[in-house]
Amino acid sequence: MSIEKTYDEKDMVDTSVSPVQDYSSKQGDANGYVDPYAQFEKEDNGFFRNFIDGFKPLDFGEIDPNLSDVERANLIAARAPLKRSLKNRHLQMIAIGGSIGTGLFVGSGSALATGGPAALVIAWILTGIMMYCTVQALGELCVAFPVAGSFVQYNTRFISASWGFCMAWNYALQWLVVLPLELVAAAITIDYWNAEINSAAWVTIFYFLVLFINVFGVKGYGEAEFIFSFLKVLAIVGYIILGIVINCGGGPEGGYIGGQFWKNPGAFAAGFKGVCAVFVTSAFSFAGTELCGLAAAETENPRKSLPSATKQVFWRIALFYIISLTLVGLNVPYTDPRLLGNSGAAASPFVISIRNAGIKGLPSVMNAVIMIAVCSVANSSVYGASRTIASLADQGFAPRIFGYIDREGRPLVGVAISMIIGLLCYLAASSHHADVFNWMLALSGLSSIFTWGSICACHLRFRRALQVQGRGTDELSFTSQCGIIGSCFGVLLNCLILMAQFWVALFPIGEAANPTSFFQVFLCVPILIVWYFFWVFYKKDYKFFLRSKDIDIDTGRREVDLELLKQEIAEEKAFIRSKPFYYRVYKFWC
């Protein structure tokens, strides 16, 4: 058997466990798989007619009414007809630069002013390690179960329906709120060049740009993110080179800097409490890293592309975040007044360092990159929100109409809801827009922390279920490089971040304790508690977590013959071991 053989997903769908009726009258392939889109691909009624027909619903069969809620959710997630149009290059670029946005380019400025350069590096390193462990755990789950809704659905599968309901709505709300926030941020970046035009005009342009991209479904999202991410990566690599030149005194007006700003004004702005305060900003900058897992169900071959994509996260953390922020901390003192009290590029430490060096023209280029990054995050927010909303309906957590998916594989109702909420961006023209958006941000401020902690917890529960049910990791085509230790670290660090944020929210740096400042940081937590207990009492489901022996570890698996899979994995490992050292290192990290 050839070790380098690749498999199309159609050859790996397990229909033996599916009580879903056939999509059509076709016989399917050797494994019984029938492509739900095949009946439409051959029809050609003209461009306009095909375009209209594409919005019609795609019927993917009926489901056994005797299934439990969890079984039904697992089955529908495995069979949800999202189109697998994302290619390997799309997933790789989404993993490398998909979530790079205002958190890094602008938010790092306020973090530098709050904590100092040492706090900046410490917070991003610890959060980065946690994120790498989380994405590795997510990669293992998504390769085994590339189902619609992905990690949102894993909470229901591996923990409990009540926790799944809580986390699914938490994640949906996070992305729903991000869209109007990013649209306003995009309009603000234009003020760097022209502040006279009403922000509503720019908001409208960006709004319809995001809508236009999402009309083309997952392929539109993939192509847009490929371009956006490439430009962001190119800009950060360019800044790293420029930052070294600036630090060494290569700027027209700047002399040698070295590490003088770490001595004066100092490495820490507020000691340990300053480090704790920076964690929420570092977490915000990594938000969206998990989208490569959400996209797993819409890739051509998750088993081939997803493991490589999860490994790319290491390079993004090490090269793009840690190195660039180290240079920012070296080149900009945390006492610079421009870091606070401004918005957009004016508060970006990247732009400030270039200005301090007296380099003309490049600040405008950096502002353009920030605008691209903002549009990228806005585009990702519609993708993330729409897929999560569809998953909510699949699991019975929202009205069934929310799960509407058309013949082009677009979750239309999810996209529509996201764009309707996005209209809140026009509040930018209101005199009280700052207060409104501060509270909107509070709704999603800590959402990512809960999401990442839950991913690690799901991984631990999956491994435990394998052990209890007499199964092993030898049946997994990809296993987390960090193992269960990495997931334990991820759960622990997320809990510590929540504790640190509670402390900072209750006793803000340089301010007296007050309810407003507390809830603007910690509002997400009481909302999650309300959601959790609402589901518990509404469904009268008092099961805190599923027992390991009852966890479903088969529905949604892409491999039909586990013994054949084990043999292939063993041969692949033997093949890699036979290669030179440099090849083994490359396969481990890439």
Indicate if 589 and 488 belong to the same structural domain.
no
Task: Write the CA distances from 440 to 77, 175, 277, 437, integer angstroms.
Answer: 30, 11, 19, 5
* pTM metric for this prediction: 0.82
Residue at 525 is within a domain: yes
- Whether residue 515 is predicted with pLDDT greater than 70 in this model: the reply is yes
* 462-481 pLDDT per residue, tens: 999 999 998 888 888 888 88
Q: What is the pLDDT of residue 4?
A: 38
Residue at 412 is within a domain: no
State the total domains in the chain.
2
Q: What is the pLDDT of residue 484?
A: 93
Mean pLDDT of the region 138-159:
81
Residue at 382 is within a domain: yes
Indicate if 328 and 245 belong to the same structural domain.
yes
Burial of residue 530 (CB within 10 Å: 0-12, 13-18, 19+) is exposed
Residue at 588 is within a domain: yes
Reduced to 3 states (helix: H, G, I; strand: E, B; else coil), residue 192 is coil
Indicate if 527 and 576 belong to the same structural domain.
no
Indicate if 494 and 588 belong to the same structural domain.
no
Indicate if 315 and 233 belong to the same structural domain.
yes
Residue at 22 is within a domain: no
Q: Are 427 and 436 in contact (CB under 8 A)?
A: yes
The radius of gyration of the chain from alpha carbons, rounded to an integer in Å, stands at 24
Higher pLDDT, 34 or 306: 306
Q: Are 403 and 411 in contact (CB under 8 A)?
A: yes
* 333-376 pLDDT per residue, tens: 999 888 876 656 677 889 889 988 888 888 888 888 888 888 88
Q: Which of 523, 529, 522 is nearest to 501 (CA)?
A: 522
Q: What is the pLDDT of residue 342?
A: 60
Indicate if 167 and 302 belong to the same structural domain.
yes
- Whether residue 420 is predicted with pLDDT greater than 60 in this model: the reply is yes
Indicate if 146 and 87 belong to the same structural domain.
yes
- Whether residue 124 is predicted with pLDDT greater than 70 in this model: the reply is yes
Mean pLDDT of the region 248-268:
87
Residue at 31 is within a domain: no
Residues making up the chain, counted from first to last: 590
Domain boundaries, position 541 = 83-386+417-472+484-557
Residue at 157 is within a domain: yes
Mean pLDDT of the region 83-108:
73
Q: What is the pLDDT of residue 89?
A: 74
* 533-584 pLDDT per residue, tens: 898 888 887 777 888 888 888 877 765 566 777 777 777 778 888 888 877 7
List all residues 6 or more positions away from 55 whose beta carbon is below 8 Å from its beta carbon: 406, 407, 408, 412
CATH of the domain at 348: 1.20.1740.10
Residue at 155 is within a domain: yes
Indicate if 515 and 530 belong to the same structural domain.
yes
Q: What is the pLDDT of residue 11?
A: 39
Indicate if 251 and 275 belong to the same structural domain.
yes
Indicate if 98 and 141 belong to the same structural domain.
yes
Indicate if 565 and 510 belong to the same structural domain.
no
Indicate if 126 and 200 belong to the same structural domain.
yes
What is the distance, to the nearest Å, from the Cα of residue 470 to the centroid of all Cα atoms in its chain?
A: 33
Q: What is the pLDDT of residue 513?
A: 75
Mean pLDDT of the region 117-140:
90
